[in-house]
Chain A
Amino acid sequence: MVGFSSILGQIIIYTTIYSLVALGIVIAGRTGVFNVGGEGIMLTAASTGFMTAYFSGSWLSGYFVAALTGMALGLMLVLVHEYLRVNQFVIGIVMVIFGAGLSDLLYKIIVGVRLQAPRAPRVPLIRIPGVSTVPVLRALFNHDPIVYFMYAATAIAWWFFYRTKIGLETRAIGELPQAADVVGVHVRRRRIIATAVGSSLIGIAGAYLPIFVTGTYNPDLSAGRGFMAIGIAIFAGWRPQRAILGGFLFAAVEVLSFQLQLSVPGVPFQFFLMLPFASVLLIMVVFRRFIDFPASIGKPYHRE
């Protein structure tokens, strides 16, 4: 078996992916936009982000482009919904299919097929002096910058939604858009901003896979995590602080199932691959009573 700290560190890395995507979905969801296109956004941003990082040699610009890609797709989703009045779920699913195709297409056009897979530039680890030697904390605070970014994004989102008036207004839109509208909050503007911001987080999570986790780009590398993040957002009751917990839970299942694959011979490996998905289902059933939704999520709002 691998050491506890190293497994925990591994879990934190996968937590980062899940939590960032879930957070992106939560932020949009709080304004009533149900972004089910996360998988497609992740894939496209993974492709553009990785290529930028590879060609420029700068991981930072890779993430930057991934965020922009996510934002662009998120804007597409929310604008088509708000102005052309297309159902959110329809656009979301279209975005998944579109993203899956577009990501590979771009990669094949620009990078092509090579004997040796291009590798992303090395990302430095940030050590926090003091805690980086403490046993358990070491696994939480001895990581690449995106892990810290995820911690910060979660904290800021929580502070924004639950400690500011502007956040209260934003939550009101997801509960009852007409309530926000009649007191002079711009429903449409907030929905657009929230979806764009949320989608850029999803984009960064998408690019995190090829830039840091695997180091190379592969087709369909998000492997359904964009969908599982929807489950996390729901499980979290659309609260940022719980999204990180949900992310940790799913990441733990995923990492432990890797470990089990190695240490329990005789069981087909597909069984372990199934575990994260099965646990989504299980958690949904177990926690169904505690799950609450923003009341108007997924519903369009028009004044007249």
Chain B
Amino acid sequence: MNNHRSVVVRLKSVSKRFGPVAALRDVDLVVASGRIMGLLGENGAGKSTLMKILYGLYSPDEGEIYIDGKAVRFRSPQDSILYGIGMVHQVSTLVPEFTGLENIVLGTREGRFQFSLTRERKKIQTLSAQFGLLFPLDQKVSALTAGEKQKIEIVRALYRGARVLILDEPTTSLVESEFVQLLTSLRRFVDGGVTVVFITHKIREVMAACDEVTVLRRGEVQGNLQRHEMTKDSLVKLMFMDRNIAVTESALPLIDHVDVALSLQPVLSFDGVSTSTLRDLSFQAYGGEIVGVAAVSGNGEKDFAELPINPKRITKGTASLMGSPINGWSTVDVLRQGVFYTPEDRNHEGVLNEGSIVENMLLGHHRDSRFTRWGHFVDWPRLRLDTEASVSAFNVATPDIDVAIRRLSGGNVQKTILARAFLRDPRLLIVHNPTSGLDISTVEFIFSRLEGSRQAGMAIVWVNEDLDELMMLSDRIVVLNKGRIHGTFVRGEFDKLAIGASMLGESA
């Protein structure tokens, strides 16, 4: 390997605080040209913050940025773009109402008062072809898949002449085959003289993609490894220090599905169920199993997760709980049967941010006779007692239960929501992306609770965007595509490529 690569970007002693939280402490980073540099760390380690500073979105409290050895100061992305920095953000930053072409030319300097995009179109098509990033130019972005949107974002950065391309968790919404495609494109960028910074929290991806990796933990650099020094163990050690992170492989399934289907009654059952967005679903979840639901975001997975608590949406077919049809039932009726649902968007749909922990704990249990007196009054002493108990059982880090939810971290909010679900042992638990954006110790904790519930005979429907996680814990994985069940995979025959293909709607 060439040891005399020039340094494109050097970040020197960068620090950044958000209020009382130190997001970055004295971070040094050197990015050599023509390589794929990994930036590895847990959620909240400071990877995105560091790169948003390089991109000019955040300004550092301390520290300097050097591009090609020259000290620079970026006040907005407009400045960093001029120096050839491009960034593809974790959350799509494309305007859904605009076409791909419009999104790409957005913000470029030339021809601000003209609108004929013929020249621009040509240039974009050339770039797309060169790097193997093909997507429709004239369709509204809102109609495109996550993979296509990502290609547009990458081309947008290259179109602006990016020499350093930052990709922030680029694989979040990609299925396996798209990830493989992305890797090919990354290699082409490097051959074309572009330097890539690849942000991820997955060791597997670093091993597959990067020439070099810098590991961050709690806002500090833990170390830098070259390709030949990278092993799973060395990376794990840098990422988590000595914390034990062995996520247990799921124990053997408690039940054998072939027998079970004949003898046991499913907790939740859909029989040819359709709604305005879902088509002809037949699906069972039994007590003592975790059913994973995999889908590329926007294929009806949210409506699927909400269906059991909102059976009024059903237009055709029958949904049953413990054998009794629930068509036409209200949410209250369903919840009374011991169903609990934790939504995907925890801060907007899961909790009242301004309410305290104990107030939030009551939601969904407010009709439970355990927490009411004389019919309609809240039994606060009883509720406080139970809240105290479950907050400590779920390790929610908080000084007391009167703290407003918005003061808790994402992980603690999620733990509170789960603690609430377990306040009364549910028979059916529906969880949607319960681990997104959480650090590994919280993820592990949630996994252990899910597994514990399964052992206790609960039925768990787990809709999740992260396929690796699903494969770790599920007994079965059901794939949704365009509102239909497109495939079912049983533990033992999980295959990331096959499931990914099914998620994209390809037949096996």
Chain A positions within 8 Å of B, measured between CB atoms, are 163-166, 168-169, 171-172, 175-176, 178-186, 295, 303-304
Contact = CB atoms under 8 A, between A and B. Distances in A.
A179 B98 CA distance: 11
B115 interface: yes
Nearest to A160: B113
CB-CB nearest 8 A-B residue pairs: A183-B107, A184-B78, A166-B112, A175-B95, A179-B93, A184-B77, A164-B113, A182-B93
A135 B78 CA distance: 54
Contacts of B94: 176, 179
B334 interface: no
Contact of B93 (A166, A168, A176, A186): A176
A149 to B, nearest CB: 22
Contacts of B76: 181, 184, 186
Identify the interface centre among A163, A176, A182: most chain B CB within 10 Å of its CB.
Answer: A182
Q: Is the interface of B mostly helix, strand, loop or mixed?
A: loop
B117 to A, nearest CB: 9
Contacts of A303: 57-58
A71 B197 CA distance: 45
Contact of A182 (B57, B98, B114): B57
A163 B115 contact: yes
A192 B111 CA distance: 23
Contact of A179 (B57, B81, B106): B106
B59 to A, nearest CB: 9
Contacts of B58: 303-304
B106 A168 contact: yes
B112 A164 contact: yes
B369 interface: no
Contact of B96 (A166, A169, A176, A178): A176
B108 interface: yes
Contacts of B95: 171-172, 175-176, 179-180
Interface in B68-105: 76-78, 81, 87, 89, 91, 93-98, 102-103, 105
8 contacts: A164-B114, A164-B115, A166-B113, A168-B102, A175-B95, A180-B106, A180-B107, A181-B57
B377 interface: no
B476 interface: no
B18 interface: yes
Contact of B106 (A163, A164, A185): A185
B415 to A, nearest CB: 26
Interface residues of B, number: 30
Interface in B1-52: 18
Interface of B: 18, 55, 57-58, 76-78, 81, 87, 89, 91, 93-98, 102-103, 105-108, 111-115, 156, 160
Contacts of B107: 169, 180, 183-185
Given A165-B111, A183-B160, 11 more contacts: A164-B115, A165-B115, A168-B106, A168-B115, A169-B107, A175-B98, A180-B95, A181-B77, A183-B156, A184-B76, A186-B76
A165 B115 CA distance: 6
Contacts of A186: 76, 78
B47 to A, nearest CB: 16
Nearest to B116: A163
B89 to A, nearest CB: 6
Contacts of B89: 178, 182
Nearest to B91: A178
B98 A168 contact: yes
B26 to A, nearest CB: 20
A290 to B, nearest CB: 15
A165 to B, nearest CB: 5
Given A169-B107, A175-B96, A176-B96, A182 B87 contact: yes
Nearest to A185: B107
A182 to B, nearest CB: 5
Contacts of B98: 168, 171-172, 175
A200 to B, nearest CB: 21
A172 B102 CA distance: 10
Given A179-B106, A182-B87, A165 B113 contact: yes
A289 to B, nearest CB: 15
A190 to B, nearest CB: 11
Give the residue among A172, A184, A186 with the most B Cβ atoms within 10 A. Answer: A184
A165 B160 CA distance: 15
A138 B103 CA distance: 44
Contacts of A164: 112-115
A293 to B, nearest CB: 11
B270 to A, nearest CB: 31
B111 to A, nearest CB: 6
Contacts of B55: 182
A194 to B, nearest CB: 16
Nearest to A181: B77
Contacts of A169: 106-107
Contacts of A304: 18, 58
A180 B103 CA distance: 9
B114 A178 contact: no
Contacts of B103: 179
B85 to A, nearest CB: 11
Nearest to B94: A179
Nearest to B49: A304
Contact of B114 (A165, A183, A184): A165
A217 B110 CA distance: 48
Contacts of B112: 164-166
A248 to B, nearest CB: 26
A182 B114 CA distance: 22
A165 B105 contact: yes
Nearest to A187: B76
A178 B77 CA distance: 11
B81 A184 contact: yes
A63 to B, nearest CB: 27
A304 B102 CA distance: 26
A224 to B, nearest CB: 32
A186 B112 CA distance: 14
B105 to A, nearest CB: 6
A181 B81 CA distance: 12
B426 to A, nearest CB: 35
Contacts of B105: 165, 168
A163 B81 CA distance: 25
A93 B299 CA distance: 41
A297 B87 CA distance: 26
B57, B94, B95, B160: which has the most chain A beta carbons within 10 Å? B95
Nearest to A182: B93
Contacts of A166: 112-113
Nearest to A162: B115
A304 B23 CA distance: 12
B162 to A, nearest CB: 12
B161 to A, nearest CB: 13
B411 to A, nearest CB: 21
Nearest to B57: A303
